[in-house]
Amino acid sequence: MSNIYRMEVRSVPSPEPEDYDSELSTLQLIIDACSNARFNPVDADLEQFGKLTSWISFRLSLVSLSAGQDGDGGLATRLSLASVEVALRIGDLQQYFGNLLDQSQLLINYGCLDEAIEVLLRVVNSLSPAADHARPNAHISLAGIYRMQKRVHDALYHLERGLRYIHFSFTPGQRALLLEQFMPLYGQVRDVAGLAHCARHMGKPDIAKLAIEQVSPEWSRDEAIFLTSRLRALDEHDLADAVLAAWKGQA
C-alpha cells in the first residue's frame, strides 16, 4: 500500500544533530513520556526534557512510523504528534511539513483515510514555501486515497499536480508503477490525453497513437486546442504536435 500512496522522493536532506549525546537523551525522554497513554504531546511542556531540535523532531517521526508497524497505534500517534509539535515549537516548518507526510502515512496504514486527507490538505493548501518539498508526495498520496474512494476526478487532479511538481525526480520505474494504477481511471473519464501519457511511460506506444487517431475533420478549433493543451500539460509535446498536424491536415 505504501508504494501507491507515498513515492520516496526526498528533496531536503535529513537533519543532523548538533550535540548527539544530549539530543539522544532528550529524544529518549520524550519517547518514554509518550509511552504513557495519558501523555498529551500537544499540551505538554516538551522543553522540560531538554533542548528541542530538528533532529529530535525528525527522529520522533521515524520512531512513530516504526511503532505503527509494530502495531502500537496509541504510541505511534503520540510520537507523531510530538514530532509535529517539536517542529512547530522550534520554527522548523520544513521539518513540520515533512512530519505531516509521515503522520498521514501512519493514518493511511491504519485505514483512517479521512483523517489522512485532512493532514495532506494542510500540506498542499499551505501558502508557505517551506511546504514545497512535501507537496509532491502529498498530492500523490491524495491521488491514491481518492482512487480507493472512487473519486476519479479528484484522484486524477492530484496525480497530475504531484507529477508536475516532481518533474524528473521520479525514476522511470516509479512513474510507470504509479501510472499503471491510474490508467484505468483515465479510461473511465475517456481522457485520451491521459491514456496516451500513461501508455507512453508504460512502454505501450501503440496505445498512445490513439490520441492521433481520435482526430476528426469535424472537430472545431476549440476541440483540437483542448486535446493538444491537455497533452502539453502532461509534457507530451511531441504527441501534441502530431495531433495538431493531423487536425490541420484534415481541416
Residues 154 and 210 both lie in one domain:
no
Contact by Cβ (8 Å): 87, 64: no
Q: How many distinct structural domains can be found in the chain?
A: 2
Q: What is the pLDDT along the chain (251 residues), one digit of tens a residue?
A: 444 445 554 567 899 999 999 999 999 999 999 999 999 999 999 999 999 999 999 999 999 999 999 999 999 999 999 999 999 999 999 999 999 999 999 999 999 999 999 999 999 999 999 999 999 999 999 999 999 999 999 999 999 999 887 765 677 888 888 899 999 999 999 998 999 999 888 888 777 777 777 787 788 889 889 989 999 999 889 889 988 888 887 65
Whether residues 7 and 127 share a domain: the answer is yes
In which domain, by residue range, is 112 found? 2-174
Same domain, 148 and 227: no
Instruction: Please tell me the distance from the alpha carbon of residue 94 to that of residue 184, in angstroms, as a whole number.
Output: 35
CATH code, 10: 1.25.40
If asked whether residues 155 and 127 sit together in one domain, one would say yes
Residues 131 and 30 in one domain: yes
All cell numbers assigned to 48: 522540560
SS (HEC) of 82-145: HHHHHHHHHCCHHHHHHHHHHHHHHHHHCCCHHHHHHHHHHHHCCCCHHHCCCHHHHHHHHHHH
pTM for the model: 0.89
